[in-house]
Structures are given as C-alpha cells and as structure tokens.
Amino acid sequence: MARAAIRGRAGRAGRAGQPGGGPWPRGVFLSGQAVSLLGDGLAVLAVPLLVLDLSRSPLVSALSAASVTVGYLMVGLPAGVLVDRLDAWRVLLVTEALRAGLFAALFGFAAAGLLAVWLVLAIAFAAGACSVFFETALVVVVKDLFPAGRLIRANSVLELASQLSLVAGPAVVGVLAAVGSISLALLADALTFAISLLSLLAVGRWRPRPQARPPARGWRAMGTELRAGLRYLASVRVLVILTAVQVVVNLCLAVEKLIIFDARDTLGLTSSLVAAVVAAGGAGGVIGALSASRLAGWIGEIRLVVIAIVATGVAIASMSTAGSALSLAAANLGYGWALVVASLVNRTQRQWIVPRAMLGRVTSVVRVLFLAVDPLGVVIAGTATAALGGDPRPVFLAAGTTVVAAAAAGWLAGLRQAGHDGGRGSSAGPARRAGGR
C-alpha cells in the first residue's frame, strides 16, 4: 500500500512536471483559447457597428474594424522582441486581463451613455495592441505545451475555433443588434476574455517552467535583438522561401475583397445568395481546419503547404469563370479550405523549426510582412478592376495564376528538397540544437 501510494504521488508529480501536464490541462487550455477566439469574433462586428451608431463615417468604421491590423503595424515588431524577453505565459495572462478590462470599460461607457468616437477608437486600438502581444505569445506557449508531433493538431483546434468564431461571433452580434442591445455584445466580449483568463490560471501549475531569461537589457537593445531575429530568419532557407511565397500569395489574395462585388454587381445575385457565397468560404475554412492534421500526416507538411497554395490559386482563378451563385460558392469553398490549410501548416512549420528563444521575433516579423502587403494588394486589385470597366474576372485570373506560379517557384527553389526530407524543413536539426524541438 505504501509503495503504491508513493508510486501514485510520483506519477502525479511526474505528470505535473511534463510540458502541458497531460490531456486534461491541454484540453482546458485549448478550450479557454477557443472561448477567447469567440471574443475576437464578437469584436469583429460589434465595434464597427458601435462606431456607425456614433458616426456615419466609413473611414472611421473601417479603422475600428482593422484595429488588430493597425496594432500589428504599430507594435508588431516590438511585441516579438518583448515576448522573447519575457515569460510568454505571463504575457498571455496580462494581455487577456487587459482585454477583458477594456471591453468591460467599453460596455460601462455604453451603458452610461458616455461613448464618443474617439473613446471607442482608443479602446479598440488598445485592445488591438493587446491582441498582438497575446497572439505572438500564444505561438510560443503552444510550442511549449505540445510536443512537435502534436503541434499541428493543437493549431488545428485553434484554427477551427477561429473559423467558427467568424461565423458565430457576427451572428450573435446581429441578433443583439436586431433587438437593440448591441452593447451587450461588448459585455459578452469581456466575459469571453475573462473565461480564457480563468482557464489559464486553472492550468498554470502544469505549464512548462520558464526558460532562463537573458540579462536585463535596455530599450536601446531592442533593435539589436530584432536584427538578430531577422538574421536568423534569413539564414534558414526553407523559412525564407516559405515567407517569400506567402508574401506574394497575400499580395495576390487581396482580390478576395472583390468576391462580394463580383457576386452582387457582376453576377447580379440577391443579398441572400451573396451571403451564401460568403458562408461557403467560411465552411471551407472549417473543413480546412478539420482536415489539415490528417492530410499533413499522409502527404507531409511541406508538400501539403505547396499543394494548398496551388489549390488556393486555382480556386481564385476559377472565380473568373463562375457564372452562377453555385459555381462562385464552390470556388469560395475551395479557396477557404486551401487558404486555411496552407496558413495552418505554414505556422506549424515555423513553430517546429525556429528556436524558442527566437520564435516571438520571427513570428512578429513574418506577420507584419504578411499584413503590410495586404493594403497594397487591395489598391492594385481595385485599381485594375476599375480600369477594366468594373469587371473583376480578369483580376481573379491574374491573381490565381500568380499564386500558382509563386508556389511552383518556391517548390523549385528548395521546398522540393525539404519535402523529400520527410515533409518538414531541412533545418529542423539545427533548430533542435539551438533550443527548438
């Protein structure tokens, strides 16, 4: 009996010391993050609608909807440096608490009738900046909690929650707006972040021990640390190729903003059919999140990234020939599936390859690059469509062809060899020696 009790205590101690502590803590962690992502989905529509109640300015509404994008462009690079300096788990706790507090304050101002446009924008941008730190730290924490073989499954769960939140969040806000209680969406938003915070606190004892932090450095050293992250990114061939291909892809995929225009103006679809076309893209994203892990196991991660990017280009190009709601919805379904698969597996590659000590900086640099080209792509796509007399179909064809060409170029430039090496980047060995998995 005594030996059994000792073995039981030792087993529990061992499980507590393991990264993630076992299925239950990991499950609670992922569930909490799923609830947090629902909060993001609520904010996507609630904040712009709140702004439109105060001002009819489309510019102000667009700015409020792009708060996270603006946050990345403003603090994305410093966030990566600071996440690498600090304990990533504590960054999650602090930023989640701040987001809960900010949306609770926004609800309070709304309930008291004290809202002003500048106040909503200030809170939205502050919450967007918190989201930048949170998302960067989350990439690091997921790598800490999940062994290399389970990374893609964990990312699939988070991506599935993200895709579902983009459907459920606006739906909830729409119902609340219909009954004149849109401010309740702000309270619900605050509650989702509070629940996520509680889940983090609940499983905190199982989190991996923080790695030894480097000696304290001043603000002036941030530039040096950021350059070190850039040098690392530039030194790993497979990461350079994946990043370059994804930048070109993101530039071209700005044409997705024209899907609604194409459905309404070119095809003359009704509002309900336009909604069905858009919903098909969301359904494709859900299917992509559900299927990515299994497909990566069958095909290999690098090969799957390339195949998914090619499929993305083909889906976009096929929109140029869509002549009905059904064909455009089918193209958007394939587009949503391929885009989520490519993005999810690409993110997993970075987590697996990049040393943990560099992961925050590399993640933030890559995301800033991806987001920075999107406005340029929107301008190019919009200008080209206007020059063609309002016909977006040649733009879809050109963008899709360019995406396929970028995938082929990346494959020939080095991804083919990485794919033959077992589906993961060929620099995985050095990454492990440098402190990654």
Instruction: Answer yes or no: is 216 within a domain.
Output: no
Same domain for 301 and 422 = yes
Is 253 a residue whose pLDDT tops 80? yes
Same domain for 284 and 155 = no
Instruction: Give the integer Cα–Cα distance in Å for 370 and 250.
Output: 6
- What percent of the chain is modeled with pLDDT above 70? 87
Nearest to 39 by CA among 154, 180, 191: 191
Same domain for 389 and 276 = yes
Instruction: Answer yes or no: is 83 within a domain.
Output: yes
Same domain for 120 and 260 = no
Which stretch of 43-47, 121-125, 390-394, 407-411 has the lowest confidence by average pLDDT? 43-47
Instruction: Answer yes or no: is 5 within a domain.
Output: no
- Residue 266: what pLDDT? 87
Same domain for 172 and 26 = yes
CATH number at residue 330: 1.20.1250.20
Same domain for 244 and 167 = no
- Residue 25: what pLDDT? 84
pLDDT in tens, 148-184: 778 899 999 999 998 888 778 877 877 777 776 778 8
Nearest to 82 by CA among 146, 136, 120, 163: 136
Domain span including residue 188: 22-207
Same domain for 283 and 313 = yes
Measured CA angle at 292 (ends 318, 207), to 5 deg: 140
Is 104 a residue whose pLDDT tops 90? yes
Is 11 a residue whose pLDDT tops 60? no
For the residues 116-144, what does the mean pLDDT come to?
92
Token representation of residue 415: 């991804």
pLDDT confidence tier of residue 278, bands split at 50, 70 and 90? confident
Instruction: Answer yes or no: is 10 within a domain.
Output: no
Instruction: Answer yes or no: is 390 within a domain.
Output: yes
- Residue 337: what pLDDT? 96
Provide the number of structural domains found in the chain: 2
Instruction: Give the integer Cα–Cα distance in Å for 348 and 295.
Output: 14
Is 430 a residue whose pLDDT tops 70? no
Same domain for 241 and 191 = no
Same domain for 182 and 42 = yes
Instruction: Answer yes or no: is 427 within a domain.
Output: yes
What separation in angstroms does the CA of 171 have from each of 237, 310, 378? Answer: 43, 32, 26
Same domain for 254 and 289 = yes
Number of residues that make up the chain: 437
- What percent of the chain is modeled with pLDDT above 90? 48
In order, the DSSP letters of 285-339 are HHHHHHHHHHHHHHH-HHHHHHHHHHHHHHHHHHTTT--SHHHHHHHHHHHHHHH
Instruction: Give the integer Cα–Cα distance in Å for 128 and 70.
Output: 7
Is 130 a residue whose pLDDT tops 60? yes
pLDDT in tens, 35-94: 998 888 888 778 887 887 788 776 677 777 778 888 888 898 999 999 999 899 999 999
Instruction: Answer yes or no: is 4 within a domain.
Output: no
- Residue 421: what pLDDT? 56
pTM, entire model: 0.82
Rounding to the nearest 10 degrees, give the CA dihedral for residues 373, 378, 64, 226.
Answer: 0
Same domain for 403 and 336 = yes
- Residue 8: what pLDDT? 42
Domain finish residue from 158, 174, 207: 207
Domain finish residue from 143, 174, 207: 207
Instruction: Answer yes or no: is 42 within a domain.
Output: yes
Is 15 a residue whose pLDDT tops 70? no
Same domain for 189 and 276 = no
Average pLDDT along the chain: 84
Query: Is the separation of the CB atoms in 424 and 417 below 8 Å?
Result: no
Domain finish residue from 177, 207, 237: 207
Instruction: Give the integer Cα–Cα distance in Å for 70 and 59.
Output: 14
Instruction: Give the integer Cα–Cα distance in Å for 336 and 340.
Output: 6
- Residue 88: what pLDDT? 92
